[in-house]
Amino acid sequence: MTSDAALSSEAVALADRIGELVARMRSAEAELGAVLVEIEQRGVMELFGYRSAARLMEHLADEPKPAAERLIKRARLLNPGRNLDGSPIPALAPATGAAARAGRLSNPMIDVITSVLAQVPPEHCASAETNLVAFAEEAGHKQVAALGARILAHLVPDGQEPDDTEPVVPTRELFLRRKRTGIWELSGRFDDETGTRAHALLDALAERRTGDDCPDFRTTPQRYGDAFSDAVDLALNSPELPMQAGERAHVMVAVSLNDLKSGLGKATLGDTGTMTAAEARVHACDAMIIPAVLGDKSEPLNLGRLRRLISAGLRRALFLRDRGCAFPGCHRPPRHCQGHHIRHWADGGPTDLTNLVLMCAHHHRLLHRSGWEVRIAPDGLPEFLPPVFIDRRRKPRRNNLHEPLPFAA
């Protein structure tokens, strides 16, 4: 055998091996997407304590959140789902999903096919998918995109109807509306000066988080939403906030003592709202919300007041010890943090430095719901134990981002 023939044979063997591995990778990714869709349908919060499957993927696979969201979005189109009432939702592209699980389609190819099918009239969707998947067996995704464009030109010749409405831009208007689901919708229009000041405030609070829990790949709207929540907390905590009926602005939360201890059940939020008892436990740690704890006959057992749990002096001691959010890798400064009771006060935990840790709102909620634990180490500093599904050994982790106090020698 000549050297050229030997090289050709080796090249074919290597190319075949690459093809086998790529097919396995594609098949595994399609199966992974199907599992994540199933987790979403069963309830990622109930199963793992995370608010989304993408957040879970950040911890389990060290996967950037945008990449995880793309994987899950693609999987929703390929796999059947369920409505809130349990009724089935057929997959947009079931044949594409079968080909993906067999390892025959790349992600760009899947995206091309599903984007075309999303625009095809439902009665033509099955036949269009058959043609696209069959053509995908012998062509690249760019050629399939060209075929999809021809299909759309035939089935939807007029394209999408344009939106030519002109929005009205008032000088200063703000709309805040509570929906029946408990979600609040905020919208408004502001003059240039107000908008610029609001943008500067939110931009300062919307910096990406750093931490050992996961990289922060929140979208800009998500970061601005969290920043708005932080801005509300800072405003409620301001000593210059105007008084209402002789008191600083506050929100009352009523919850039974049994529900507060167990974290199960509901709590009444303000006049019309509700929150889970687990959320009430978070706010009861150190709240600008006033907790009203009720007995079996709804009699008030303990009516809190602002900052009643952690005194100003104790808060200063927390600031000096933790220097900011103590969660591993978080950079949030003390003024953005809350005091968390390691052993909850409803369970008899004391309000002293050995039972408190400083945490930002994001990591405070994560600690209450996801399996992370915190304790005070023998040296008097807080350390965190990750859930078993992140680290089976549960090796303690600490935050080393905050500058230590400059103690003199």
CA angle 276, 279, 281 (to 5 degrees): 115
Average pLDDT, integer, range 307-335: 79
How many domains in the chain?
Answer: 3
C-alpha separations of 347 from 263, 285, 294, 342, 373 in Å: 11, 12, 15, 10, 16
Task: Give the count of alpha carbons within 13 A of 14, CB side only.
Answer: 6
Gap between the Cα atoms of 322 and 354, Å rounded: 12
Domain containing 362: what range? Answer: 312-385
Residues counted in the chain: 409
Task: Note whether residue 375 is domain-resident.
Answer: yes
- Residue pair 37/72 in contact (Cβ under 8 Å)? The answer is yes
> Are 138 and 267 in the same domain?
no
> Are 372 and 256 in the same domain?
no
Span 347-363, pLDDT tens digits: 778 888 888 999 988 88
Average pLDDT, integer, range 177-188: 80
Query: What is the structure's pLDDT at 109?
Result: 95
Average pLDDT, integer, range 387-395: 86
Query: What is the structure's pLDDT at 178?
Result: 78
Task: Note whether residue 407 is domain-resident.
Answer: no
> Are 28 and 143 in the same domain?
yes
Given 309, 337, 356, the domain boundary residue is 309
> Are 84 and 110 in the same domain?
yes
Query: What is the structure's pLDDT at 297?
Result: 47
Gap between the Cα atoms of 186 and 178, Å rounded: 9
Span 196-249, pLDDT tens digits: 778 888 887 877 766 555 667 788 888 888 888 888 777 766 656 554 444 444
> Are 20 and 149 in the same domain?
yes
Given 309, 325, 358, the domain boundary residue is 309
> Are 367 and 352 in the same domain?
yes
Q: What value does the mean pLDDT of the chain take?
A: 78
> Are 350 and 264 in the same domain?
no
Treating both helix axes as pointing N-terminal to C-terminal, what angle do 220-236 and 361-369 enclose, rounded to 10 degrees?
Answer: 100
Residue 304 pLDDT level (bands cut at 50, 70, 90): very low
Phi, psi for residue 304 in degrees, rounded to 5: -80, 175
Residue 300 pLDDT level (bands cut at 50, 70, 90): very low
Span 49-65, pLDDT tens digits: 888 899 899 888 888 88
CA angle 326, 228, 205 (to 5 degrees): 50
Query: What is the structure's pLDDT at 6?
Result: 65
CA angle 394, 400, 402 (to 5 degrees): 140
**E strand or H helix at 259, and its extent?**
helix 257-262
> Are 316 and 305 in the same domain?
no
Task: Note whether residue 322 is domain-resident.
Answer: yes
> Are 365 and 283 in the same domain?
no
- Residue pair 361/354 in contact (Cβ under 8 Å)? The answer is no
Check residues 371 and 67 and name the one with the higher pLDDT: 67
Residue 12 DSSP SS3: helix
Q: Phi-psi category of 342—alpha, beta or left, where left has phi over 0 and alpha has psi -120 to 50?
A: alpha
Q: Which segment, 18-32, 189-203, 274-288, 319-333, is predicted with the most confidence on average?
A: 18-32
β 289-294/251-256 pair status: parallel
Is the pLDDT at 346 greater than 70? The verdict is: no
CA angle 202, 204, 210 (to 5 degrees): 110
Residue 261 pLDDT level (bands cut at 50, 70, 90): low
Tell if the pTM clears 0.75, that is, is over it. Answer: no
Given 104, 131, 155, the domain boundary residue is 155
CATH of the domain at 379: 1.10.30
Is the pLDDT at 288 greater than 50? The verdict is: no
> Are 141 and 74 in the same domain?
yes
Of 260, 245, 265, whose CA–CA distance to 291 is shortest? 260
